[in-house]
């Protein structure tokens, strides 16, 4: 299982979970995205399925 998103201009972001053979160690990932109905403006700390923190900074719409 992995997460993938196709963004503007053909940009694709894929995030794969670690496995016993391919450990990533400690990782903190930060993303900045435009405002949407799903997340309000500001900084949000979310946790991925492997228990890692993902910081999402939501900017103003438009």
47 touches 56 (CB < 8 A) = no
pLDDT at 13: 80
Q: Do 34 and 58 contact (CB within 8 A), yes or no?
A: yes
The verdict on pTM exceeding 0.75 is: no
pLDDT score of 4: 85
Q: Name the residue with tokens 């963004």.
A: 7
User: For 2-57, what is each residue's pLDDT tens digit?
Assistant: 788 887 767 778 787 777 777 767 666 777 888 776 888 888 888 877 777 788 88
Q: Which residues are 6's β-sheet partners?
A: 12
Strand stretches in the chain, DSSP E: 3-6, 12-15, 29-33, 42-47, 53-58
- pLDDT reading at 62 higher than 60: no
């Amino acid at each position: 299982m992995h997460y993938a998103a196709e963004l503007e201009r053909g940009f694709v972001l894929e995030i794969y979970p670690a496995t016993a053979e391919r450990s990533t160690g400690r990782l903190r990932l930060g993303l900045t995205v435009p405002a949407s109905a799903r997340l309000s403006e500001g900084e949000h700390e979310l946790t991925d399925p492997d228990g890692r923190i993902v910081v999402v900074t939501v900017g103003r719409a438009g």
